[in-house]
Amino acid sequence: MFSDYPHLIDLNDYPVSWWNGLLKQAEEIIKNPALYANSCKGKIMGTLFYEPSTRTQMSFQTAMLRLGGTIIGFDNPQTSSVAKGENLKDTTKIVSGYSDVLVIRHPVMGSAKAAALTSDCPVINAGDGGHLHPTQTLTDLMTLKMEKGKLSGLTIGLCGDLLNGRTVHSLCKAMSCYENNHFIMISTKALKMPSYIKDKIRANGGTYEETESLEKAIPKLDMLYMTRIQRERFANEEEYLAQKDTYILTTKKMNLARPDMIVMHPLPRVDEIEVAVDDDTRALYFKQAKYGMYIRMSLILTMLQSNVKTQLLAGDLHTGIACKNKNCITCQETYLPKSFIGKGSTLTCEYCDERLLLQHE
């Protein structure tokens, strides 16, 4: 199923050369912002934020304003017609008709792809549940490029909620496309990286190991990516409390790290990085958030200039099969065409990407 517009749902829908082009353009914007100050004059960006956000939402907004464009949207669906029961299809259809580019964040996996299916302008995925977060990954690539000078040959530590953290999913899928990157996944058994992401790393030629010890892993790293335990994705408070505070990066642990290791975090931080670590010159998370603004300027420009069509669903359409992942958008917005890649028992839902045991409706 094709859409008439370019969309950014998953970075891996585009070649590495496209990501590199965005990074290069972002560097040019940093060097000469005045040159870009009117490049989106007359254009409107719609932002549909169904979930809380500070950095992603505001960096997109300031990015568009700095390009000379304007913005509309909501950051609380309860103040929009969503509160009256409007579905994702109708809200997207209407707001995309008012906008030139649409940025969407939603708590349910696959929602950005679902929105793109009906949108009348390009859609950018600003986080779909615990699935993907491509623009955070662009931010992370930019930080690595600017601060480490390279995107290959790196040992990357990922620590915290690797199960529910969409940022680490997108990051692994992207960084494994550059040569010789090795991932050390640091988490409890309950919050391990999903197997479909590990399979992608292997398929892209990357390598990984898993450990529960931050202390053992930290001396080996070029970059440590800390993450927040994603409280809102847990079934209940008890399960969250059992995981909370397992990993806290302290100045003492920073002493075990190499002098050139950098610390990144998509933010918000809760308590997984001690505030005293902020004074360590290797703590780059605030700088990282600022790079996010420049890479989003580059992305908005590129999306508005592109006229490529996007293939959104490439697999077989099924009417008799439902995705079993209760956090998949197809389970909530039941009008959506159900589409799976693969055959027999190895079917993968094209919205939420997880390999699923399927059940007949």
Catalytic residues: 55-56, 84, 105, 133
The verdict on 56 binding ligand NCD (CB under 6 A) reads yes
The verdict on 136 binding ligand NCD (CB under 6 A) reads yes
Distance CA 345, CA 343 (A): 6
Distance CA 96, CA 100 (A): 7
Strands 348-349 and 338-341 come out as antiparallel
The verdict on 57 binding ligand NCD (CB under 6 A) reads no
The verdict on 267 binding ligand NCD (CB under 6 A) reads yes
Nearer to ligand NCD, 186 or 322 (CB): 186
Nearer to ligand NCD, 194 or 339 (CB): 194
Provide φ and ψ at 198, rounded to 5°.
Answer: -65, -40
Q: 2 exposed, middle or buried (CB, 10 Å; 0-12, 13-18, 19+)?
A: exposed
The verdict on 129 binding ligand NCD (CB under 6 A) reads no
The verdict on 295 binding ligand NCD (CB under 6 A) reads no
Are 244 and 229 within 8 A, CB to CB? yes
Are 303 and 21 within 8 A, CB to CB? no
The verdict on 133 binding ligand NCD (CB under 6 A) reads yes
Nearer to ligand NCD, 226 or 349 (CB): 226
The contact pattern for ligand NCD, residues 195-234, with x = CB under 6 A and - = no contact, is ---------------------------------x------
Nearer to ligand NCD, 138 or 358 (CB): 138
With CB under 6 A as the contact rule, which of the stretches 210-218, 246-254, 265-273, 296-304 interacts with ligand NCD?
265-273
- Size, binding site for ligand NCD by CB under 6 A: 11
With CB under 6 A as the contact rule, which of the stretches 4-12, 146-154, 218-226, 263-271 interacts with ligand NCD?
263-271
Q: Give DSSP secondary structure letters for 34-76.
A: GGGTTTTTT-EEEEEESS--SHHHHHHHHHHHHTT-EEEEES-
In the set 14, 16, 20, 55, which binds ligand NCD (CB under 6 A)?
Answer: 55
The verdict on 107 binding ligand NCD (CB under 6 A) reads no
In the set 167, 187, 246, 310, which binds ligand NCD (CB under 6 A)?
Answer: 167
Q: Name residue, tokens 């490439």.
A: 314
How far, CA to CA in Å, does 165 sit from each of 187, 224, 247? Answer: 12, 15, 15
Are 104 and 115 within 8 A, CB to CB? yes
Rg of the chain, C-alpha, whole Å: 20
Q: How far is the CB of 29 from ligand NCD (least distance, A)?
A: 20
Instruction: Give SS3 for 186.
Output: strand
The verdict on 127 binding ligand NCD (CB under 6 A) reads yes
What burial letters (b/e) apply to 190-204, b meaning 16+ CB within 10 Å?
ebebbeebbebbeeb
Nearer to ligand NCD, 185 or 336 (CB): 185
Give contact residues for ligand NCD (rule: CB under 6 A): 55-56, 127, 133, 136, 166-167, 228, 266-268
